[in-house]
Amino acid sequence: MSQKRGGSFNHYDNRNQFDKRSRPNQPHNSVSHSNGNRDARHGYQQQRSHGHQQPGGGYGTAPQAELSTSDMQTGLVALLDRFVADETRSDADRDVLHHARELRRLLARKENPASATSRHELDGKRPRTAPTVAVPPYVYRKVQEAKDLPPLPTIDEPHIHEAVFTHRSFIVKNGEKGTYTELDLDYERLEFLGDAYIELIASHALYSRFPHVDVPQLCSWRERLVENSMLGKFSDAYGFTDRLRYYNQFDRNSKAGKKVVADLFEAYVAGIVLSDPQNGYQIADEWLTELWASQLLSFKEKIIEDPMAKNKLAALIVVNDIKVEYREERPMIYEKGSNLQKYFMGVYLTGWGYQDEWLGSGEGQNKANASSAAAADAIKKNSGILQDATRQKSELVARRREEKAKAEEEAAAHAADDGTIGEAGSQPSGEVVGKGKDKKRERDSVDADDTPKKKHRKEKRGNDESSA
């Protein structure tokens, strides 16, 4: 019997020589040694360890193995990789998986001293002679597109995450429509829900940040936020199309292909909300708002200079039969790029010696806004016609005030003549003044009726006197 090279003993040769049945009374861990110590637990001699196993079949106590720090680190990373791979399934404990991945990431981040030393020696003795391979253009393009994007929220539910990137054609058995595997959820159904979430989040983002913008313009801006071209850019930047599992090939540059790319993004939004019923919607809202931030900043609201311009213009020149009319000067058009409506209105004056005189023009997304803009333009221009009309109205108003004051003074005087003033010399009340005016009118009417009779009696009296 001989030892193997390297000091290790072959424990499996000549097994019959160490047949335990030939020594039934000898314990399994007992080895005869003249200078050995006895095991305190069993009373048997304990074999001394000198760095290698003693001859005798390997039935002595084996030396305890020790791992270096670097070996322990490498081994733990490998074990965690194996554990994560085995535990990644639909019924897995998400907390356990999360902590296992985090521990693996922290361990893998630490540099292995042994491998790092070898790498440095290799670079010193055998440096690179070939140039570094350039990043492929499509990879560089995706990195550039995604570098300024916010971090992608995770979908914690494994089956929802799998469904987001599963095309309907992938889960059909043998091309038979309606026959599915165990996974009965695909991205198309999630896209239906995600589309509604995205439109709601976009509506809220616009509503809360542009309080003075009209609804038609808000609708136009929302269309620009949720259109397939915009969502498709986000989907490509995050690499969603590279993760899609499908059976039937499709052209990504075609209209149908671009819709699939955009639908993936909508499905992902639905996955975020469904995987976290408590906080999912808030996470999606903050993420999408950050994605849209630069575009929201580019939206310029059209502010009406003076919303009360129509009232101000009317106060300057309108009275009685004076008319200020707002008319559509040109047909409505749609703005290029935004597809918004634009109306053109003008303001015209009839009165004060003028007939259909133009005062100003304005434009807006509806007739009301365009009319307000036209009135503001007229006030800003302050043409000679407007100045003349304003002057005439001011003079008319002044005359009417004087006439009114004079009429009130006359009424007060007649009321005083009729004794309607109070005992304390106070001015008569409105009711008393009104009664005084009525009595004065009655007297005037009686006097007017009696005047011809008095004249006739006076003439008759004169004739009688002359005849006498």
Kindly state the average pLDDT of the residues 437-466: 54
Using the predicted structure, report yes or no on whether residue 291 has a pLDDT greater than 60: yes
Q: Is the dihedral of CA 452, 458, 462, 465 positive or negative?
A: positive
* Structure confidence at residue 47 (pLDDT): 45
DSSP codes of every residue in 339-350 = --EEEEEEEEEE
Angle between helices 228-237 and 137-146 (to 10 degrees): 110
Instruction: Establish how many alpha carbons lie within 13 A of residue 274's alpha carbon, considering only the half-sphere containing its beta carbon.
Output: 19
164 vs 180: CA distance, rounded Å = 16
* Structure confidence at residue 28 (pLDDT): 45
Output the pTM of the full model: 0.45
pLDDT, tens only, 276-290: 999 999 999 999 999
Given a contact cutoff of 8 angstroms between Cβ atoms, the answer to whether 299 and 210 are in contact is yes
pLDDT grade, residue 437 (50/70/90)? low
Strands 37-38, 45-46: pairing is antiparallel
- Please give the residue that has the higher pLDDT: either 172 or 301: 301
Given a contact cutoff of 8 angstroms between Cβ atoms, the answer to whether 126 and 57 are in contact is no
* Structure confidence at residue 401 (pLDDT): 92
Q: 297: part of which helix (H) or strand (E)?
A: helix 280-298
Place of tokens 């720090």: 69
Kindly state the average pLDDT of the residues 166-182: 59
- Please give the residue that has the higher pLDDT: either 240 or 141: 240
Using the predicted structure, report yes or no on whether residue 19 has a pLDDT greater than 50: no
Using the predicted structure, report yes or no on whether residue 319 has a pLDDT greater than 80: yes
What percent of the chain is predicted at pLDDT more than 70? 63
Which residue, 349, 213, 209, 358, is CA-closest to 292? 209
Q: What angle do CA 48, 53, 59 make, to 5 degrees?
A: 85
Q: What is the mean pLDDT of the chain?
A: 75
Q: What is the DSSP letter of 239?
A: T
Using the predicted structure, report yes or no on whether residue 371 has a pLDDT greater than 80: yes
Helix boundaries (H) for 349-429: 367-381, 384-417
What percent of the chain is predicted at pLDDT more than 90? 30
* Structure confidence at residue 117 (pLDDT): 76
Kindly state the average pLDDT of the residues 446-456: 52
* Structure confidence at residue 165 (pLDDT): 87
pLDDT, tens only, 50-69: 444 444 444 555 555 666 66
Place of tokens 């397939």: 228
pLDDT, tens only, 203-238: 999 999 988 788 888 898 999 999 999 999 898 888
pLDDT, tens only, 130-171: 776 666 666 666 666 667 788 889 898 888 888 888 877 776
pLDDT grade, residue 441 (50/70/90)? low
Using the predicted structure, report yes or no on whether residue 414 has a pLDDT greater than 60: yes
* Structure confidence at residue 23 (pLDDT): 46
* Structure confidence at residue 279 (pLDDT): 93
Q: 361: part of which helix (H) or strand (E)?
A: strand 354-364
